[in-house]
Amino acid sequence: MTTINSTNFDTIIPNTAVPRLAPLQLGNHSVWPPVVLAPMAGVTNAPFRSLCRKFGPGLVYVNEMMMATGLVHGNRKTDTMLKFGSDETFRSLQLYGSDPEMLARAVDKLGRADAVDHIDLNFGCPAPKVTRRGGGAAVPLKRQLLRALVTAAVETGKNYGIPITCKFRMGIDDDLITFVQTGVICEEAGASAVALHARTARQHYAPSAHWEAIKELKDAVTSIPVLGNGDIWEAKDALRMVEQTGCDGVVIGRGCLGRPWLFRDLIDVFSGNPIQATPQLGDVLEVMVEHATALCGHLGEERGIRDFRKHTGWYLTGYPVGGETRRKFSEIMSLENLRELCSALDHTLTIVEGGERIARGHTNGPIRVVLPDGYLDDLDDMTVPDDGHVMQLSGG
């Protein structure tokens, strides 16, 4: 099978100050540097992954999260989400679910169709529509269910040579911390790697991530790679995370929104090379048009341009273009409209000091975490929750 990055590892780190990391091994695929794009709903579709890969070839770019049940039964939305670009030699997607049998069927369907090369299991999503079904961040509360889910995916994946990884949060809240136990269970069940978003579900995306938890997980999980996720806005943040926690690689989420060149910077920084300057606005606008054009080709122009509106704010973050300009970009009606707005701006504008670190994407928290009614009564219960009854944990 193909090696994603053929660079000789022994020669790529001339600077001893750069943490020396091993390639991330996913089945027969070797990935260096060990950098992964986190799946983000409505964002990490084929056009966005292709754009990121243009800046950072050879890394792992994960498709959007999909519900195992929806994939098994099939529908138009799932079929659209499952599309991979012709340039994707390593196809990766994320699944979530709370039924081991259904999860195994989803992996089997993907394997029989030769549709993916890697599957990540989501045990960290805090969205109410996911946790109220006992999925995402709710799963790690139930140890036996977690073990059954990971085992089902791993054993089924073996039939097709599909490695399984797992991503999760620290727990539900400060009183229900599960990440060490979750990591050990995933390790024992045969996962190829685990990734920790160093926040609880209740924290959502605020305040700062607790990198010390990544170190704690790394100390507990010793036979498979541990990847860190949370608050990597610039490439130097990834170096600091590795230095402070000892993690084996990094997962990039909101930091690449409107900044797909972050993956280029990560390759440079882990290779001991200088990081390139943040692009001038003109270069950013060229990337915007390229992204929007690809998205319109993927979804059709009307739907694609509507979907691209959220990206415009992320691309313009940190550039002093003014509120009225931002509003106009957020209301674009066509590709031609986008090009007209781009041509009217000063292409020589540079990002404001510290602009790279301005948060993009979700920034809210804490939130109320929604669980199925009675979910905490018996944490060894393997029953698949009834979607019709939910409870809310206090907080907010």
Catalytic residue positions, numbered: 125
The amino acid present at 286, given as its one-letter code, is: E
Amino acid found at 32? W
Picking from 13, 18, 19, 58, the residue whose alpha carbon sits closest to that of residue 35 is 58
Bridge partners for 92 per DSSP: 62, 118
Q: Are the CB atoms for 195 and 179 separated by under 8 Å?
A: no
Q: Which residues of 245-269 are buried (b: 16+ CB within 10 A; e: fewer)?
A: bebbbbbbbbbbbbbbbbbbbbbbb
Question: Which among 93, 91, 43, 97 is positioned nearest to 72, based on CA atoms?
Answer: 97
202 torsion bin: left (phi>0), alpha (psi -120 to 50), beta (else)? alpha
| Strand-pair category, 29-31 with 24-26 | antiparallel
Preceding amide of 19 cis, omega within 30: no
* H or E stretch at 158: helix 143-158
- Locus of tokens 């060229």: 286
Q: Report how far Cα 359 is from the mean position of its chain's Cα atoms.
A: 16
Residues 332/342, Cβ–Cβ less than 8 Å: no
Diameter of the chain measured on Cα atoms? 61
Q: Cβ-count burial of 379 within 10 angstroms (0-12 exposed, 13-18 middle, 19+ buried)?
A: middle
Could you count the other beta carbons within 10 Å of the beta carbon of residue 190? Answer: 16
- Answer for the pair 391, 373: CB distance below 8 angstroms, yes or no: yes
Q: Are 69 and 96 in contact (CB under 8 A)?
A: no
